[in-house]
Structure 1
Amino acid sequence: PLSKHTMMHIGGCAKKFVYAHDDEQLANALADAQSENDRVFILGAGSNLLVSDDGFDGVVVKMADDSVEWTPQDDGYMLVTIGAGALFDEIVATACEKNCGGIECMSGIPGTLGGAIVQNIGAYGQEISEVFVSAQAMHKQSLETVTLTPQDLAFAYRTTALKTPDNPYVVLRATLRLPPFVAEDAVRRCIERNFARMVAQPPKTATELRHIVLKTRRSKGMCYDTDDFNTHSVGSFFVNPILSEKEAQRHNAANIIRNHKSMPMFPAENGMKLSAAWLIEQSDFTRGFIHKGAALSAYHTLAIVNRSDASCADVLELAQLIVKGVFKRFHITLSPEVVYLGKTGIEQLPISLPK
């Protein structure tokens, strides 16, 4: 069952499951699927994946190339080319040991390099798009290998052109360009992100800042722990809503009248970003809220977890309750961040999103 290959430990069986350790194995798997007229799903670490209880009627290809090549540049930057199956946090750890910047605030994010690119992962003011140079990818039908640029990927908040259901490419490897770590920037980031209260001394190295980030993520249950079901999630189940500044201020004014306090909001590229976790909590969903086998994490309301034997249906029902509750309270619709794999492939999460 695919439940063995996702961090939520949920999901039925695939018709076929294969590993691709290199480009040739991937090409063979794709060619075999074509000859059998089978659907294909490309799997990384399953860290942002919710699988249907009915499983997937097709071939799941697990990307397993974890090769890494580090190339120092004359300008102090570091080029690193990474196989799609490499665990992203291991790359971050090594980058920090080399005192590279650019990705240290993404420490502790589970998943593979391939998934990191597709999702445009980010945390605490950093995004993979900021250090991305290029990716090699294989066309699922022609099996040709192409080079994808940042323009090709059309990076946006927690998404790319590769995240669409009709995306024809599989990421093979990607090259990142990491700047040298700058302590002054790290101190500023600590102040902006409220990390300063967690340490006696500001970070002087990338590794020190990584440890601060990991401590923060663990306090929120956002670092996977085999023995703690509160971490058996897809991370943030919903994205933080981004509203126009005018719309955000209108919602904030209404909330001040209703609750006598301001809504937390932060400047974003296209307006103001609201806190999905805060919206959920203010809609009477507390940490540890239980619905059948699913629950909200005891650490963070933005994570839906598998308490022990939750079904996909349990998770979907809880997600639906939350979306309806937040909309009823604030007239704001939360959008899922999770990737949903249904019987026939990647689908929209089967819940109703009020408008």
Structure 2
Amino acid sequence: MSFGGPQWPQQGQGQGQGQQPYGQPQQPYGQQPQQPYGQQPPYGQAPANPFPGAQGGAQTPDWGALADASAARNQRKRWLLIGGAAVAALAVGAAVATAIVATNNSNDEAKNGGTGPTASAAPTDTASPAPTFSSVAPLPPPNPMDFISDAKKDKAPLSAESLFPGKKLTMSGRPYQKGATSSTANCAAVTQGALGTVLKNNGCTRVIRATYVKDGVAVTVGVAVFPTDEQALKAKKQASGGIAPLTGAGVGDFCHKTVCLRRTNSIGRYVYLTQTGHTDGKKVTTGDKPVFQTADDLGTFAFNQIYARGRAQASAAAGAPGE
């Protein structure tokens, strides 16, 4: 049935005055005309039946329109159900995805060894007091030079064996055999030239010597001891002459009536000196590399031994209670 279309005559009405001819235009929708007896009302409007008992007076329901309306309502219900199911499925999917991401993160952290609790998850103890730190800066560690610069602090035992231990030494792969050693408080007695007077005038208290030999080159290294570093430095600057060669223990006479290499240096309250030459009495020249190398090695060894003395005393002082 088409809305607003033509109406066929109802059964039992005949061709009387109330019949609406085929093709006659319908009244506009919603307009209520004064309808003669037997004339059909517009679509969807209940007829006014003055003779309810008469045959044909009761109108037949529009079953097609009712069926269309019912189908529309059912379709709306189906769409509502489908939409609700889709929303529920999305919510469940989001919850499952969140759970999977959380599980994957947990597995990654465990596989990588973990990083411990995060700052936000770390428990806090507001009742515990915050750590406090002293505003007083800690004292610096003792300086080894402080101990080897003043006799009042330099109290460690001092002897030829403590300065020149063992029977030989090796410097940069070069081995030296140790000969005789000596220690004396008569500083001037173990010197050559004007060195004795210089040592005595500056307060020398002891001279310790040792001789080493390698491949026909001998060296005597002497360490002169003073009360303070100022006195030792002054003696170094005034030095003239040299330390007397020490023979014996397999080492013959050397550096007598010939040219030898003399060197003088100081560290703290110690002056260390070397006298180096050939064991066969040959004069030392500027091209005698073995002689210069031997003097360098034994001078470095003496320096290291004196500084190690200060370092050992500084370390002991740092670990002593009350220091």
Same fold (TM over 0.5): no
Larger strand fraction of residues:
1
TM class by shorter-chain length?
Answer: under 0.3
TM-score under structure 1 normalisation? 0.20
Greater relative CO (CA pairs within 8 A, separation 6+)? 1
